[in-house]
Amino acid sequence: MNVLMVTSECAPFIKTGGLADVAGALPGALGPLGIDVKTVLPAYPALMPLVARGTEVASFGDLPGGAGRLVEVEAEGVTLLLLDAPQLFDRPGGPYSDPAGKDWDDNHRRFGSLAQAAARISFDGLLGWKPDVVHAHDWQAGLTPVYLKQPGVPVPKTVMTIHNIAFPGRFGGHTRGELGLRGDWFYPGAGYEYHGDVAFLKAGLAFADRITTVSPTYAREILTPKFGMGLEGILQARADVLSGILNGIDTAAWNPAKDKALAQTFDSKTLARKAGNRAALCKQLALDPDHQGPLFCVISRLTEQKGLDALVGAIPHLVAGGGQLAVLGTGAPELEAAFKAAAEEFPGKVGCYIGYDEAFSHLMQGGSDAILIPSRFEPCGLTQLYGLRYGTLPVVARTGGLADTVIDANLAALRAGVGTGFLFEEVSAEGIAGVLDRVFRTYADRDAWQMLQRAAMRQEVGWDTSARAYAALYQEVLSE
């Protein structure tokens, strides 16, 4: 089977979040199942060295954003089809915004071009390779199913994956002409219209043959107004083709027994060696290295979605209970300032690094006792999976993929030896304080804590199971 992935991010080449990790790892996991994947990705400045050694396989003169070409290249085990369109992607800043953080005004043309390039090569294929399934990821690829179906000719089957429904890719209704979209499909309900605008994600949800999201619980949640972000109507109408498949992680890159970013490698039989990583982490963040209580970490975008405003309110309780807190992330200026202020108020107890460093995130996982993820909604989440892998117990809100991947260490789970973390309901300072008290009590029993750590490290967090689920989905949609 041949599958064409369409994505705006792909680790390790370009990454702002979990979408990149999925797009980077899934092709390799599908390969052993007999699925050949090619990935359409914009040629951002960091990828130009790959463009230089690749081979041009297609060219276009009239994409929504102008001329472009596709360059095929093998890198890091992934077959990339890089959309080389310098007028669209050769820019400073991030994939979606300028250096000041403002979204590019022509993002509709940039990612409309990505989707249209993918659709065009899907009709005729490339040098004898033609996709059986086109798999579009998030709003940036959302127009792909529309472009495929507009001509009314036989085309590959399409799968649309929602990584975060909070980002619909919404642009003014006048852009449909620039994007080359059929005017008679611009309507509410089963069309791509959304309150007078063009919504890329809604387009994908309306016209794809299958819809997936990144956890079973999130698939149920987004059918409701609380989590559906205004798209619950189209999802309810298409609930029969919606499913949730959990993300996995790259267990070779995240392996505490071989991780070169750690000060001291370890496994479930040598948990005492985590202490070397704790010491290194404390040194980097000016935390008290002789502190005896649990060290919690946060590795996250600093946003209200992640519940970190509530965590700020719980920091005094965390410190009073005997804990330490290490924070790595960047995001809302007011939250960055709040964590900096906490580090000043509680020297040696709270430390923060405003920014992001991949290697340091590994040390944070290796050196901490628990990872805090108090998200108000979380499609899947990956940091809790890294925590499980490193024996760093997840303390998570009961939502989305967090609820699907962490087994609460309640009394029954402790007795059965199957608990892997701590779940709580209310995302507030009080709710977080309540679960912290549970963590403190359990941490005081070193045998119980290590039992939880070993259970966490036994959990299957790789891509094998998820890849088989995607392969089965592809086969199912092809059989129709």
Residues 282 and 225 in one domain: no
With 90 as the cut, is the pLDDT of residue 232 above it?
yes
Q: Each residue of 245-304: pLDDT tens digit?
A: 999 998 998 999 999 999 999 999 999 999 999 999 999 999 999 999 999 999 999 999
CA–CA separation, 236 and 255 (whole Å) = 40
Residues 171 and 290 in one domain: no
Q: What is the CATH number of the domain that holds 218?
A: 3.40.50.2000
When pLDDT is cut at 50, 70 and 90, the band that residue 17 belongs to is: confident
Residues 148 and 218 in one domain: yes
215: Cβ contacts below 8 Å, ≥ 6 apart: 244, 245, 246, 247, 379, 380, 400, 401, 403, 404, 405
Q: Is residue 443 part of a domain?
A: yes
With 90 as the cut, is the pLDDT of residue 356 above it?
no
Residues 186 and 167 in one domain: yes
Q: Is residue 241 part of a domain?
A: yes
Q: What is the pLDDT of residue 176?
A: 96
Cα-trace Rg, the chain: 23
What domain range includes position 73? 2-248+464-478
Q: Is residue 260 part of a domain?
A: no
Q: What is the pLDDT of residue 97?
A: 94
Residues 229 and 326 in one domain: no
Q: Is residue 356 part of a domain?
A: yes
Q: Is residue 254 part of a domain?
A: no
Amino acid at residue number 327: V
With 90 as the cut, is the pLDDT of residue 16 above it?
no
Q: Is residue 431 part of a domain?
A: yes
**How far are the Cα atoms of 314, 367, 391, 411 from residue 459, in angstroms, in the given order?**
29, 19, 10, 19
Count of the separate structural domains present in the chain: 2
Cβ atoms 136, 208 nearer than 8 A: yes
Q: Each residue of 365-374: pLDDT tens digit?
A: 999 999 999 9
Percent of all residues in the chain with a pLDDT value above 90, rounded to a whole number: 96
Residues 362 and 396 in one domain: yes
* Strands annotated E in 314-406: 324-329, 350-354, 370-373, 393-397
With 90 as the cut, is the pLDDT of residue 349 above it?
yes
Using a cut of 0.85, tell me whether the model's pTM lies above it. Answer: yes
Q: Is residue 261 part of a domain?
A: no
Q: What is the DSSP string of 404-430?
A: HH--B--HHHHHHT---BEEES--SHH
With 90 as the cut, is the pLDDT of residue 124 above it?
no
CA–CA separation, 101 and 124 (whole Å) = 38
Residues 112 and 158 in one domain: yes
Residues 242 and 287 in one domain: no
Residues 384 and 402 in one domain: yes
Q: Is residue 258 part of a domain?
A: no
Q: What is the pLDDT of residue 412?
A: 95
Residues 225 and 283 in one domain: no
Residues 302 and 219 in one domain: no
Residues 404 and 468 in one domain: no
Token representation of residue 336: 């960055």
